[in-house]
Amino acid sequence: GDSVTQMEGPVTLSEEAFLTINCTYTATGYPSLFWYVQYPGEGLQLLLKATKADDKGSNKGFEATYRKETTSFHLEKGSVQVSDSAVYFCALTRSGGGADGLTFGKGTHLIIQP
């Protein structure tokens, strides 16, 4: 079956540091890939997505590129802020219409220190 693997953390960085959170996946065909973010006490919010190979998703300074050859979708940000502290989830779906739900990784807890 489909699966998503990501570093679990916690990942602790200083403010303005460069961030990379690794995500690799196993799925047949051409899944769509997502990053979701969960702030304390809240549900998940869609951060960015990519629907085909070599697509780059970006939002709020975060970026991730869909790499079919390495089955990866690593999340990056050039300069993190304290407000970026949250749990980040990588996810995929093979359903074009979105009806089948998402397969999530276990989440990466990111802590940014001032």
Q: Which residues bind another protein (CB under 8 A)?
A: 8, 32, 34, 36, 41-46, 49, 51, 89, 93, 95-107
Considering the complex, what minimum distance in angstroms separates the CB of residue 47 from another protein? 11
Residue among 9, 30, 3 nearest 107 (CA): 9
CB-nearer residue toward another protein: 19 or 91? 91
Considering the complex, what minimum distance in angstroms separates the CB of residue 4 from another protein? 8
SS3 83: helix
Report phi then psi at 83, rounded to 5.
-70, -10
CB-nearer residue toward another protein: 28 or 114? 28
> In whole angstroms, how large is the CA radius of gyration of the chain?
14
Neighbours of 90 (CB within 10 A): 29
Considering the complex, what minimum distance in angstroms separates the CB of residue 45 from another protein? 7
67 touches 9 (CB < 8 A): no
Considering the complex, what minimum distance in angstroms separates the CB of residue 31 from another protein? 10
CB-nearer residue toward another protein: 42 or 69? 42
